[in-house]
Amino acid sequence: MPVLVMKFGGTSVATLDRIRRAAKRVSVEVAKGYDVIVIVSAMSGKTNELVGWVTEISPMYDAREYDAVVSSGENITAGLMALTLQEMEIPARSWQGWQVPVLTNSAHSSARIEEIPSVNIAAKFAEGMRVAVVSGFQGVSPEKRITTLGRGGSDTTAVAFAAALKAERCDIYTDVDGVYTTDPRVSPKARKLEKIAYEEMLELASLGAKVLQTRSVELAMRFNVPLRVLSSFEEPNDQAGTLVCAEEDIMESNVVAGVAFSRDEAKMTLVSVADRPGIAATIFTGLSEAGVNVDMIVQNIAEEGRTDMTWSCPTDQVTRAEKAMSDAKDSGVINYHELIADKDVAKVSVVGIGMRSHTGVAAKMFRVLSAEGINIRVITTSEIKISVLIDRKYVELAVQALHDSFDLDKTS
């Protein structure tokens, strides 16, 4: 029988009533003849609560125990969903990551799925099970410890299952009815997209649009999984939601497809380092070894053999970066005057594959921000995106102004 993957996010399983509503959606697909893999998140707020408990007990926690605790929210919803389906006379069974097994590497708290052998689940489908309810967000390491896939990781579980079981489609049920031109919570004029190209979705996700975890889009693109994002609160039809698909399957699109933002950014500047070959290598090797994910980088023009080096990284990695740099200074590897950390910045980005063939997008973006009196601190570009770092208090203003100026509320 054809296989369908249906993923329900935290708000879609937040109460027993919502679990029943989701189960009803599943029953419709079962009735159509699909064997269904349901991927569930923890009830909304649960994962945050578990993370809070871990960090309260142990601020510098052992990541293996973090995963043991934080993965547990999904197990509750998986069991409850299986029971709900059974009450509806649908043969269903819950599966934790290790039971499938979802094999990952050992990078606790941000593990990557390496393989999902489908034999166990396939055998149960052959015996008459119609729904496998799998705990999202978790797997098992080669050392047989429980791992988690990073926040939002259930999306990735869903796509990985769709690829492994050659599902017809992967449906992501969430609290919005699709992918919008920007976060609908920030811009009331945000427009729902009927389709979006994998590459654009990948950029939007990695630049802050948390509607899909970045890695899930990467996998969908690699394995050509048709991915649909839709609301669990509305009556679905075949056209519902947004289809994330190959560029060739989209007839027309705007030059800019969407605006993304991330409030969780910090800007750090190492003041007065020696301007000599190897200095960037030394600084960024130190940061990388300390586990700091550096995003943007700017090196100022040197004066009298000294220069400033600026980078951005997630706010919660500032302390780690400061320690790495002061250790490097103490051991004499680098010499600098001071390290300035600005935690009140945010990144705003415009994304669109149309930028490959259209010029002037960057110039227009800078004009729009300047007209709003917003100062740009750092700029980076790639083939299909332009990102700027600005003061955090201007995020909403910047997003709305860019959304208006690029006419994202209208189709081209």
Q: What 8-state DSSP symbol labels residue 57?
A: H
Residue 407, phi-psi category: left (phi > 0), alpha (psi -120 to 50), beta (remainder): left
Buried b (16+ CB within 10 A) or exposed e, 86-122: eeeebebbbbbbbebbbbbeeebbbbbbeebebeebe
Binding mask 9-38 for ligand ADP (x = CB under 6 A): xxxx--------------------------
φ/ψ (deg, to 5) at 197: -75, 145
Would you state the structure tokens that stand for residue 210, as one six-digit string? 């948390």
Please report, as a single letter, which amino acid is at residue 33. Answer: G
Site for ligand ADP in 94-153 (CB under 6 A): 152
Site for ligand ASP in 16-75 (CB under 6 A): 41-42, 47, 73
Please report, as a single letter, which amino acid is at residue 388. Answer: V
Minimum distance of ligand ADP from residue 204's CB (angstroms): 6
Please report whether residue 77 would count as binding ligand ASP according to CB under 6 A.
Answer: no
Site for ligand ADP in 305-324 (CB under 6 A): none
Please report whether residue 152 would count as binding Mg ion according to CB under 5 A.
Answer: yes
- For residue 5, the partner it binds in Mg ion, ligand ADP, ligand ASP, none, with Cβ less than 5 to 8 A by kind, is none
Q: Which is nearer to Mg ion, 9 or 258 (CB)?
A: 9
Per CB under 6 A, the list member of 64, 169, 210, 392 interacting with ligand ADP is 210
Minimum distance of ligand ASP from residue 139's CB (angstroms): 12
- For residue 101, the partner it binds in Mg ion, ligand ASP, ligand ADP, none, with Cβ less than 5 to 8 A by kind, is none
Helix, coil or strand: residue 35: strand
Please report whether residue 211 would count as binding ligand ADP according to CB under 6 A.
Answer: yes
CA 245 centroid distance within chain: 17
Minimum distance of ligand ASP from residue 74's CB (angstroms): 6
Q: Where are the beta strands (DSSP E) in 84-217?
A: 92-95, 103-104, 113-115, 131-135, 138-140, 146-148, 169-174, 195-197
Quick one: angle between helices 198-206 and 214-223, nearest 10? 160
What is the binding site for Mg ion (CB under 5 A)?
9, 152
What is the binding site for ligand ADP (CB under 6 A)?
9-12, 41, 152, 174-176, 179-180, 182-185, 204, 209-211, 258
What is the binding site for ligand ASP (CB under 6 A)?
9-10, 41-42, 47, 73, 136-137, 151-155
